[in-house]
Structure 1
Amino acid sequence: MDSSRSGTTTSTPRRQIVPHEEWGAVWTVMALLAERHGAENVRLVVWFDKGTTQRSTG
C-alpha cells in the first residue's frame, strides 16, 4: 500500500513487490489463514526502512 500526501491509500499486488521464492513461507501462511478465517480478514503490513538494505545470504 502506498499512502499519498492527500491521505488516500492504494494497494500494490504482492507479486509486484517481492518474488515468491523470497517470501514463499509468508504467502503460504497467509493463504492458510485466509482459508480458515476468510481472505477479507487477513492482512500483512510491512514497513521497509530505506536505510537498511542488508540481506542475509543464508
Structure 2
Amino acid sequence: MKLQGQVTPATTAFIAAHPQDYAVAYLPTYASELNPEEQCNAVVKRTMVSGKVTTSGAACCDG
C-alpha cells in the first residue's frame, strides 16, 4: 500500500519532470525493520529484559 502523498498527480508530475534529480522507492506504509528508531528501541527493550542495563547507554544503537 502506498501513502497518499506518493501517488498524487502533483507529486507524480514533479518527479517525472525531474528524473535526473529524484528516484522514488515506494515503501510499505509501516516497516519497523527499516526504521532506525525502532531498531534502537528493540535493543533497549532486549537489554532491559535481560537485566543488563547500564547507566552509560552506550550500547544503544551502536550497531
TM interval, shorter chain, is under 0.3
TM value normalised by structure 2:
0.26
TM-score, structure 1 normalization? 0.28
For CA contacts below 8 A with separation 6 or more, give which structure has more relative contact order.
Answer: 2
Normalized per residue, which structure has more helix? 2
